[in-house]
Structure 1
Amino acid sequence: MTIYFFLTATVLSATPYFLGGSRKVYLVNYACYKPEPDQMCSKEMYMHFAAATRAFTEESLALQKKILERSGLGNKTYAPKALLEIPARRSVVEARKETETVMFAVIDELLKKTGVNPGDIQILVVNSSVFNPVPSLSAAVVNHFKLRGNILSYNLGGMGCSAGLISLSLANDLLQVNGNSYALVVSTENINTGWYVGNNASMLLANCLFRTGGAAVLLSNRSSDHGRSKYQILHTLRTHTGADDQSYNCIFQELDEKGEVGVKLRRELIAVAGEALKANITLLGRMVLPLSEQLLFLATSIARKVLKMNVNPYIPDFKLAFEHFCIHTGGKAVLDKVQKSLDLTDRHMEPSRMTLYRFGNTSSSSVWYELAYSEAKGRIQKGDRIWQIGFGSGFKCNSAVLRALRNVDPTKQEINPWIDEIDEFPVSG
């Protein structure tokens, strides 16, 4: 009777996900920023400019070199021009120039791809975690592209690397209540502001991993856009573990012992990310997994928690629900943890690992570089389901589920950050 009750409750709780009457939201297209060749920063160049700052001790330089060697980054990632000079130019002016260069270029590319007039955009969501000037970055976009005066404009700050999927979720929600509309989502991060010039070991990791990047995404709830759109958004899901002190403190911007600002990444980060992922997939599973997988998961949960049986927890096979996985490039250790937790193959992980290698951690925009990788490889077919996973300070794990509305033919592909070099990937090691 107890098992029957739980099975019934699970099926009923899942019913709203399948019977909902929400508006369909289409992802018309997206664009990823690819910096100029003169912004390329090899590991050797990074160490050269780090030493030239004269801010780091020999011990700190040795640590950064060690981190880079184990990071999973290659030698063609990008850094802001202001940091590739001696002396480096670190200021609010340079930080604004860096972010506006990325945003304006990637939006221009997106508008060219879609043919949408800026005046037709009704909703704008911009996210950047560590750089939040006045006027806001969203206001800078409105001003530069002369967007409409009644635009619903939002600027998200301080929300970490998962903010891109939060922005997507917010835009998706707004499109549920604003008919016949376009929404523009812009995700980026500022390297100039985030650059740490101290010697606290736990704050140096961010310097080594984060690189220049950004993405712009155009969403629509117009039925007329179905035929030309690449994807449909099926689900967005946000889980927050910030009520737990360890989760809240594992990524924290603060002052070091000498008053330098940096983002501290604590040792607990990987464990916290694992717990946040577990919380997210427990909810997501109800939406996407076959009923057989849900029942197996439920049965083992009842056996362990209700009947107190000594059985291992059942890990659902998400490979039955998705053809493609876009996992935020938080670092090699994070990707290793997710691969093990979800029992994914090396091919499933390839877009994430190659994005980390080629572009580094571009923060909230990384999941779009990963999707672009799969497109450039010719792997996206009509009906394919894509799971985008983002992790961020707070601590948060956020998901978006997309379904391909058509085959993506790389031989007919528009601008893509991978398209002119995709034959060089994957690389080994």
Structure 2
Amino acid sequence: MDLFMTMCLLPVFYAFFCICRSVLQWRNQGCYMLAYECYKAPEDRKIDTDSSVRIILRNKNLGLEEYRFLFKTIVSSGLGEETYGPRTVIAGREDCSTLADAQLEMNEIIFDTLDKLFARTGVSPSEIDILVVNVSLFSPIPSLTSCIINRYKMREDIKVFNLSGMGCSASLVAVDLVQHLFKTYKESFAIVVSTESMGPHWYKGKEKSMLLSNCLFRAGGCSMLFTNNRALKHRAILSLKCLVRTHFGSSDEAYECCKQIEDERGFLGFRLTKSLTKAAAQAFTANLRMLVPKVLPVRELLRHFIVALQQAKADSLELDAVGSYLDFKAGVDHFCIHPGGRAVIDGVGKGLRLSEYDLEPARMALHRFGNTSAGGLWYVLGYMEAKKRLKKGDRILMISFGAGFKCNNCVWEVLRDLDGGNVWKDCIDSYPPKALVNPFVEKYSWINDEDLSFVRLELDI
């Protein structure tokens, strides 16, 4: 009888042991953001309408057709008068940028944000266990992670990762890496630095698909501090709930739509093709297939299922239809969209049926700071915080796209009411502006005059 009881109890004890182990593992797999700091360049680095025109006209490879293309692009870009450019471009040295220039550009952004991050949190550089840096276009030797370790004299056993070539979506790739590392390294601190090297990669040729990057990309970046120590949860501002990564690199069309290449004359630049919109839509749809069940409540999924069945023309539950019927606001309170350009923001807004209120943070981040590549998401988050939109318990959906082609999305939960001014504190009261009309429209509309078709511009402004 005792033997029989023992045999019966063994599975019960084993099941209890497995449950306890799972609970303990779950408790140690949290990923909490303690703070973040975005970079704001000095005032002498601003690119307004006139300085932008001066930069464009310095490129003697351009003709009237290219000037008209740039005019239309800048007018419709969504960028304002106060974005920041690389130091070499502002100084007129985009044709002769050096390795030292590239290193200085990175040092300014990285050290400025890290100094503020350490001062704000009280965490010492010697306490950092994991360091991840993502810069797509600049990978020096020693690496940027080594540069940081040398500057702050970090520990010898720190785990470091230097990510390159990941594009505008690299920041969430770095966060995903940290989340996975936290499963192995308990009660740890991790830092993620997301920025981009713009100065040495300013395009000097005349290919239209490569000139786009000069119109949209601007200087910026962000440093973030994370921990999986539950004892510090009360100090955290955000908790990562889920993160889904989708990669369409197997598609030749998607792979080629965002690519760094040399043009016919050997000028290095970043090519953006017309296939970009299609690739983004496909990657976003595939990502949502995995993300939706993790984000939306069961009642909304059931409601959508019933509505979809009632659609006379709906033959399946493809997510192209899901975007039309699912109410993402049933599981998400705020939408943090990568400010890659007006078309990107409009496309996501249309696909998810978002209001102008939902799109405002991304539009304003693009207007004030431009497309800062991987750092862009955090300027959008900063806008929400500065506007005091983020309340305890709110959920934030972050949406990012990057070369490859990939779409990386995640959901954060706000752990306490946030109202910091951060990088927006000096200008938040003036946002949103009454109008987003670009001054190019008034100052340089003459460039579209057909009577000038035979003219090649040689202007000094």
Residue identity in the other structure for 2:322: Y
Count matched residues: 407
Cα distance, 1:186–1:309 mapped onto 2, change above 3 Å: closer
1:321 matched residue in structure 2:
331
| 1:333 counterpart = 2:343 | yes
Cα distance, 1:418–1:308 mapped onto 2, change above 3 Å: closer
Residue identity in the other structure for 1:83: V
1:86 matched residue in structure 2:
92
- Match for residue 284 of structure 2 among 277, 285, 290: 277
- The CA distance in 1 between the partners of 2:167 and 2:41, in whole Å, is 22
Q: How far apart are 1:94 and its partner, in Å?
A: 0.5
| Structure 2 length-normalised TM | 0.84
| Contact 1:53-1:86 within 8 A present in 2 as well | no
- The CA distance in 2 between the partners of 1:108 and 1:336, in whole Å, is 36
| 1:59 counterpart = 2:65 | yes
Residue identity in the other structure for 1:78: Y
- Match for residue 24 of structure 1 among 27, 30, 34: 30
Q: How far apart are 1:59 and its partner, in Å?
A: 2.7
Unaligned runs of 5+ in 2: 1-21, 437-461
Q: How far apart are 1:86 and its partner, in Å?
A: 3.1
- Farther-moved stretch of structure 1 (288-297 vs 25-34): 288-297
Q: How far apart are 1:91 and its partner, in Å?
A: 1.8
Alignment of 1:289-368 (within 5 A): 289-298=296-305, 308=315, 313-315=321-323, 316-368=326-378
- The CA distance in 2 between the partners of 1:422 and 1:386, in whole Å, is 20
- The CA distance in 2 between the partners of 1:141 and 1:235, in whole Å, is 29
| 1:195 counterpart = 2:186 | no
Cα distance, 1:195–1:86 mapped onto 2, change above 3 Å: closer
Q: How far apart are 1:293 and its partner, in Å?
A: 2.3
Alignment of 1:226-245 (within 5 A): 226-245=233-252
- Match for residue 286 of structure 1 among 283, 286, 293: 293
Cα distance, 1:46–1:297 mapped onto 2, change above 3 Å: same
| Alignment RMSD | 2.2
| 1:221 counterpart = 2:228 | yes
1:378 matched residue in structure 2:
388
Residue identity in the other structure for 1:229: A
Residue identity in the other structure for 1:132: S
SS in 2 for 1:262: strand
- The CA distance in 1 between the partners of 2:60 and 2:144, in whole Å, is 32
- Match for residue 142 of structure 1 among 146, 149, 154: 149
- Farther-moved stretch of structure 1 (355-364 vs 79-88): 79-88
- Match for residue 119 of structure 2 among 85, 92, 112: 112
2:161 matched residue in structure 1:
154
2:267 matched residue in structure 1:
260
Among all aligned residue pairs of Structure 1 and Structure 2, give the percentage whose two residues are the same amino acid: 39
Q: Larger C-alpha radius of gyration, 1 or 2?
A: 2
| Contact 1:351-1:373 within 8 A present in 2 as well | yes
Cα distance, 1:163–1:310 mapped onto 2, change above 3 Å: closer
1:393 matched residue in structure 2:
403
- The CA distance in 2 between the partners of 1:95 and 1:309, in whole Å, is 51
| 1:35 counterpart = 2:73 | no
SS in 2 for 1:379: coil
| 1:424 counterpart = 2:430 | yes
- Farther-moved stretch of structure 1 (120-129 vs 317-326): 317-326
SS in 2 for 1:154: strand
- Match for residue 173 of structure 1 among 158, 177, 180: 180
| Contact 1:28-1:231 within 8 A present in 2 as well | yes
SS in 1 for 2:321: coil
Q: How far apart are 1:298 and its partner, in Å?
A: 4.8
Q: How far apart are 1:60 and its partner, in Å?
A: 2.1
Residue identity in the other structure for 2:186: G
- The CA distance in 1 between the partners of 2:111 and 2:133, in whole Å, is 12
| Structure 1 length-normalised TM | 0.90
| Contact 2:29-2:179 within 8 A present in 1 as well | no
Deviations 1:225-248 (A, max 9, x none): 111111111111111111111111
| Contact 1:181-1:222 within 8 A present in 2 as well | yes
